[in-house]
């Protein structure tokens, strides 16, 4: 079983638009609502693949009740922690060429007792977990060190922890040696405090995160593919995507595939790439089923294209 914790979950409503015009009344060609937040998306991808997963989430207001129901409909066991504020609703506008415009709400302001209840809910559920994925932004009321405290508590319980967050929350948690961290290129650049122009720069940044405490780094580089930097060295994985419809949740799908495949080594990287590539070809934050995966299209190698610009897709 893989346990996920999403401190700031959401309802994600996606509208597909023929065009986006400011100040106009727009009619959507399609819309959908999904349970959202990075950890929730990891659980959704795991459930879509037939894996057991439990999602720890704060739930508040009628929005929280709907999120709880949607999680159940996706085959996810929700370990809800009641909070006074309402669960947030995020909006994504998708144009025909795949351009996304997102509006993310701030979420509830958690009290100290609610923050502690979240920590305890994760600890209590971690006993039977193969991995615990701690994912996403922190809501108001949680200090940047909250994830660090969570990683420390879970390591004391003997658990393996994957962390997918950014900014101060990521850098503060590195000292607690998370087993996997999962940044994208922008988050990786922010963590090391410098721009990353080429794939080689991303490799050096990932190595720096390992020096600062991360045991392994799984980095999404968009169309360039993914990097895994761990104690065995550096691995590069890539697969072509025929058409990109939405990149919402693609990194979360990748992390789900990585953890489901064991959470280490080139085979897990290949599974991560297959999941991420399948996800970007689906609408909104839809997670890929096994039938959507094409593991045969994935290439994993130690030959990393160090000079390739990060904005340039792999051939």
For residue 306, is it within any domain? no
For residue 149, is it within any domain? yes
The count of structural domains within the chain is 1
Q: pLDDT tens digits for 111-144? A: 999 999 999 899 889 988 999 999 999 999 999 9
Element at 106 (helix H, strand E): none
Q: pLDDT tens digits for 33-69? A: 989 999 999 999 999 999 999 999 999 999 999 999 9
For residue 308, is it within any domain? no
Q: Phi and psi (nearest 5°) for 304?
A: -90, 130
Maximum separation of any 2 CA atoms in the chain, in Å: 55
Q: pLDDT tens digits for 192-238? A: 999 999 999 999 999 999 999 999 999 999 888 999 999 999 999 99
Active-site amino acid positions: 252
pLDDT at 237: 97
**Any idea of the CA torsion for 80, 7, 64, 107, to the nearest 10 degrees?**
160
DSSP SS3 for 24: coil
pLDDT at 99: 85
Residues 87, 63: Cα–Cα separation, whole Å: 5
For residue 24, is it within any domain? no
Element at 69 (helix H, strand E): helix 61-73
For residue 314, is it within any domain? no
Question: CATH number for the domain including 287?
Answer: 3.40.1190.20
For residue 74, is it within any domain? yes
**Angle of CA points 104, 167, 177, to nearest 5°:** 125
DSSP SS3 for 148: helix
**Parent domain of 195:** 2-18+29-301
110 pLDDT band (50/70/90 cuts)?
very high
For residue 139, is it within any domain? yes
- Mean per-residue pLDDT of the chain: 94
For residue 73, is it within any domain? yes
Is the pLDDT reported for residue 246 higher than 90?
Answer: no
Cβ atoms of residues 140 and 106 within 8 Å: yes
């Amino acid at each position: 079983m893989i346990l996920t914790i999403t401190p700031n979950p959401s309802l994600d409503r996606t509208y597909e638009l023929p065009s986006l015009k400011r100040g106009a009344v727009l009619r959507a060609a399609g819309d959908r609502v999904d349970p959202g937040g990075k950890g929730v998306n990891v659980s959704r991808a795991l459930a879509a693949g037939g894996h057991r997963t439990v999602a720890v989430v704060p739930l508040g207001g009628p929005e929280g009740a709907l999120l709880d129901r949607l999680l159940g409909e996706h085959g996810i066991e929700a370990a809800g922690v009641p909070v006074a504020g309402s669960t947030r609703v995020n909006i994504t506008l998708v144009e025909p060429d795949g351009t996304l415009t997102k509006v993310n709400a701030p979420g509830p302001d958690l009290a100290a007792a609610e923050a502690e209840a979240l920590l305890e809910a994760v600890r209590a559920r971690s006993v039977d977990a193969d991995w615990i994925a701690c994912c996403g932004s922190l809501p108001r009321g949680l200090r940047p060190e909250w994830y660090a405290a969570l990683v420390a508590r879970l390591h004391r319980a003997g658990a393996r922890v994957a962390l997918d967050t950014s900014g101060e929350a990521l850098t503060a948690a590195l000292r607690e040696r998370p087993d996997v961290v999962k940044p994208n290129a922008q988050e990786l650049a922010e963590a090391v405090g410098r721009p990353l122009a080429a794939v080689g720069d991303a490799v050096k940044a990932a190595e720096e995160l390992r020096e600062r405490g991360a045991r392994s780094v799984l980095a999404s580089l968009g169309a360039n593919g993914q990097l895994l930097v761990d104690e065995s060295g550096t691995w590069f994985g890539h697969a072509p995507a025929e058409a990109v419809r939405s990149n919402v949740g693609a990194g979360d799908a990748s992390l789900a595939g990585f953890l489901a495949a064991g959470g280490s080594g080139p085979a897990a990287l290949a599974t991560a790439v297959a999941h991420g590539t399948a996800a970007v070809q689906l609408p909104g934050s839809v997670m890929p089923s096994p039938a959507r995966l094409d593991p045969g299209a994935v290439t994993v190698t130690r030959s990393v294209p160090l000079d390739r610009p990060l904005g340039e897709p792999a051939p």
